[in-house]
Structure 1
Amino acid sequence: MRRLFDSLRGQLVLLIVAALAIAQAVSLFLFVDERGLAVRAALGFEAAGRAANVALLLEEAPSSLHQAILRAANSPLVRFELSPVPAVDHGSHADGGAVETRVRGLLGGAPDREIRVELHTVEHDILPMPHLAAEMAEMHLAMMRGEVSAIEMQVSIALSDGQWLNVGTRFERPPLQWPWVSFVSFGLTAALILITTCWFLLTRLTGPLLRVSRAADRLGRGEAVDPLPLIGPGELRDLTQAFNRMQARLTRFVADRTRLLAALGHDLRSPLTALRVRAEMVEEAETRDSLIASVQEMQEMVDATLSFARGMASAEAYETVDLGDYLRQLQADMVEGFDLDTGDRIELRLRPHSVRRALRNIIENAQRYSGGASVTCQHDSEEVRILISDTGPGIPEDQIEQVFEPFFRLEKSRSRETGGTGLGLSIARSIIRAHGGEVTLANRPEGGLVATVTLPREVAPGPQERSLQ
């Protein structure tokens, strides 16, 4: 899961879903009260309409029917009563102007009729309702349950006989509701956006990026990489085209330098052969032996250079090997043995012959200077480390990097048996670096030297990469 949200696609998906959720929550928060306002307005206008109708009915009916009319009009939410004095002892509130206008319009629009409206908010744990019968009040309170925020409206309407019709009503704020339709709408919107944006547009975005990343990794290991297809948005096509150009230039550059090195080593053979023939013709024995030794050393350096060039130019295929079996086979093939501790089973993707040559050079170098070598393996999720240790004299700290330079030798004699050609570590580092790894040297505190060969582990293609192949 962590790896998913660490990717570009995962982060964009999370960002889109979070933005949708926040927008939906803000929308519900802003508009959920619109429902309450609409309900309260509808109840207020309904109460105003009922008050106007009752007023008209009272003015047209005989006084003997007035109480019957009031009892029939009363309800759990609206109460009506006749009184010689108005319940609202002042003019209408500004908030009641719409209610007053509606009542006056229903009563014929007479401008001289006095109508008073009072609105105020009431918040109580229990709302007193003395105008209701006990059983009606109990039922009403059971429906409200707990703390209630209500709007109380009182309307006083002057009747033609001099009395006042006092109307009292109270309507609670409707409870906050999150309609399931909103959640369904959110789910459908998110799914549609994720399908169209993430699994289509983002695939066109992340797919080429993933291809370039994998190709760059393979190129860094020295693998042959075919030109990548130019797909996706324009910026990604430009990036892919730039990578293809870079790959072609690097491949051409390395190939040209390798051919130059091989040609130089090959062409030096003929003059060296002629020099050896002429050296054999020198009569003075001491001078002749010295010249022959010098020519022999030059011949060995040329052979090593050609070998190095052939190794750089090889196009060996990568294979996945069991590192333990691989090192045990190398141990069996070498003339001088070495101690080996491979630890856990490790699978590694490499060029078997090239890496065998690099490891052989390092191990032989340890055996030459200390008489033996010890090889151990360590690994984690990203890389494998092969440690080649010896008990020799070590290397001066200021010369640890110099030993990797071509033809550099710590041993200053001209003997191949004691000093070699000075190309072994150079060849080993070139091969390992071509695999995307590294070779480092360090003096051991207890004496001797340890060479650490680090190789990247093969990364298995993830679901996104497999979907692109």
Structure 2
Amino acid sequence: MIRTRLDSLRVQLLLLIIGSLVTAQAISLWLFVDERSLAVRAAIGAEAAGRAANVALLLERAPQDLHASILRAADSPLARFRVDAHAAVDHLDHRAGGAVEAGIRSLLGTEDTREIRVELHEVERAFPPMRTVPPHMAAMHRQMMHDKITGLELTLSIALADGAWLNIDTRFQRPPLQWPVFSAVSFGLTAALLIGVACWYLLARLTWPLRRLAQAAESLGRGEEGKPIPVAGPREVRDLTDTFNLMQERLVRTVADKTRIMAALGHDLRSPLTALRVHAEMVEEAETRDALVTSIEEMQDMVERTLAFARGMAISEPPETVELGDFLTRLKRDMLDAFQYETGAPLQIRLRPHSMRRALRNIIENAVRYGSDARVSYTREHDRVLIRVRDHGPGIPEAELDEVFEPFYRVETSRSRETGGTGLGLSIARSILRSHGGDVTLQNHPEGGLLVQLELPLSQNSDSQDRTGS
């Protein structure tokens, strides 16, 4: 059931649109987070540069005994100041620290040429405890940061006038991935509005005409009388609908013309045959008269069969939805138990009852005539139903299994109507089955006899009820 829904054009297009929206939103969020990271890095670099320049100037201008107090006051949970004999930065990384160095020199003065070293790299280790932070605040800070900070470390080394170095360690986390509530609500409303209103309406304009077209094609294949489909939807769908309507009109007209010609031909032959019968009765020689009458009667029978064949091809009876088991039971009763019937599971099938009854009668009567008995059963295979009629007769040569469906073809080569029919029974049956969107095939059973298999499409109501029940 789920796979069937996923095969729907509307569902696939909706999934494509939703996937595109989610992908676009994810890319936007990633770019937004990267921009935030760059902004935070620039802000912290600027703040570190300002504090480092001010502390360096203050240390050079303040007495020596105040240096320790100045360093303690400058410390913070994420920044550590100290004065060492050697620079903490042993190499230069101007790609990462050029902006920081420029900020420091702008605060120190343009004439200041002291050496400034900057290093920026990723770290993942515990930060040394700050001198000015109380123990309980340090513990809370470590717990909040899970005892270590994963992010970036900015190390500055500024040369002082007395030859010492001011070393500053500053660390900051990369900004975590955040999706504000407002952004989430905005995305949800936009997606709902786009999919629920615009896309659903547009997809409905596309899929509903296609579904209606598929139903019309199925009805035409079943032989039901089809009406022109209303033209709707996009231009391509409208062109397809116009083409289908034209094809349906031509097909129905062609079949009707051929059927009408055949019926008219058979009807017009009745008058000359009747006249021949009258003239034949006037022949005095008995042997000649009987031969002529027999030939004329055979021709009259063939004309009647031709008219019956034409009526079998005509699509005039309205289709009905019937339960196949009840339909076969009534047929068995009407034929005075001429065949054995194996009941099966209830199946709803759409057919023209009188035409289908005629097709089954022809096949069952052939089975009883040439195979001495007939056994009828049916099963369901996917969206089709198979009706099997088996006899225990001699069967049909393999080379003639397809030829027997040709009009007036007889396996029994004599012209006697007592030993064989006119050869139209199977032709009429196949025409009726194909007008229902099905077909009929013959095969010799491995255990002897002939197996006739009638294939018909299931009713859509039956199929939907079965899916609901399963």
| TM-score relative to the length of structure 1 | 0.90
Q: Structure 2 matches for 1:361-440, cutoff 5 A?
A: 361-440=362-441
- Deviates most, 413-422 or 148-157: 148-157
1:191 pairs with 2:177: no
Paired amino acid for 2:254: F
Q: Structure 2 matches for 1:306-321, cutoff 5 A?
A: 306-321=307-322
Q: Displacement of 1:75 after TM fit? A: 1.3
- In structure 2, relative to structure 1, the CA distance for the partners of 1:86 and 1:402 (3 Å cut) is closer
Give the whole-Å Cα distance in 2 for the aligned partners of 1:139 and 1:163. 38
Paired amino acid for 1:36: S
Determine the structure 2 residue equivalent to 1:174: 174
Instruction: Look up the SS of the partner of 1:419 in the other structure.
Output: coil
Paired amino acid for 1:319: E
- Deviates most, 178-187 or 377-386: 178-187
Q: Displacement of 1:440 after TM fit? A: 0.6
Determine the structure 1 residue equivalent to 2:240: 239
- In structure 2, relative to structure 1, the CA distance for the partners of 1:185 and 1:462 (3 Å cut) is farther
Give the whole-Å Cα distance in 2 for the aligned partners of 1:93 and 1:118. 7
CA contact (8 A) 1:90 1:116 kept: no
- In structure 2, relative to structure 1, the CA distance for the partners of 1:246 and 1:150 (3 Å cut) is closer
| Number of residue pairs matched by the alignment | 461
Gaps of 5+ in 1: 464-469
Give the whole-Å Cα distance in 1 for the aligned partners of 2:93 and 2:340. 104
Q: Displacement of 1:426 after TM fit? A: 0.5
Paired amino acid for 1:256: D
CA contact (8 A) 2:84 2:167 kept: no
RMSD: 2.7
Give the whole-Å Cα distance in 1 for the aligned partners of 2:343 and 2:463. 28
Give the whole-Å Cα distance in 1 for the aligned partners of 2:381 and 2:178. 50
Give the whole-Å Cα distance in 2 for the aligned partners of 1:127 and 1:451. 88
Q: Displacement of 1:311 after TM fit? A: 2.9
Determine the structure 2 residue equivalent to 1:297: 298
Q: Displacement of 1:41 after TM fit? A: 2.1
Instruction: Look up the SS of the partner of 2:422 in the other structure.
Output: coil
- In structure 2, relative to structure 1, the CA distance for the partners of 1:342 and 1:174 (3 Å cut) is same
- In structure 2, relative to structure 1, the CA distance for the partners of 1:387 and 1:55 (3 Å cut) is same
Determine the structure 2 residue equivalent to 1:201: 202
Q: Structure 2 matches for 1:135-174, cutoff 5 A?
A: 135=135, 137-145=138-146, 148-157=149-158, 162=162, 166-174=166-174
- In structure 2, relative to structure 1, the CA distance for the partners of 1:55 and 1:233 (3 Å cut) is same
Give the whole-Å Cα distance in 1 for the aligned partners of 2:77 and 2:8. 61
Q: Displacement of 1:55 after TM fit? A: 3.9
- Deviates most, 297-306 or 135-144: 135-144
CA contact (8 A) 2:88 2:157 kept: yes
Cα-to-partner distance string for 1:382-410 (whole Å, 9 max, x where unaligned): 01111111111111111111111111111
- Deviates most, 325-334 or 10-19: 10-19
Give the whole-Å Cα distance in 2 for the aligned partners of 1:88 and 1:424. 104
Cα-to-partner distance string for 1:331-357 (whole Å, 9 max, x where unaligned): 111145211112111111111111011
Paired amino acid for 1:191: A
Instruction: Look up the SS of the partner of 1:416 in the other structure.
Output: coil
Q: Displacement of 1:54 after TM fit? A: 3.2
Q: Displacement of 1:173 after TM fit? A: 2.8
Paired amino acid for 2:105: R
Instruction: Look up the SS of the partner of 1:218 in the other structure.
Output: helix
- In structure 2, relative to structure 1, the CA distance for the partners of 1:83 and 1:413 (3 Å cut) is closer
| TM-score relative to the length of structure 2 | 0.90
Cα-to-partner distance string for 1:251-288 (whole Å, 9 max, x where unaligned): 11111111100100000000000110111111111111
CA contact (8 A) 2:341 2:375 kept: yes
CA contact (8 A) 2:72 2:131 kept: no
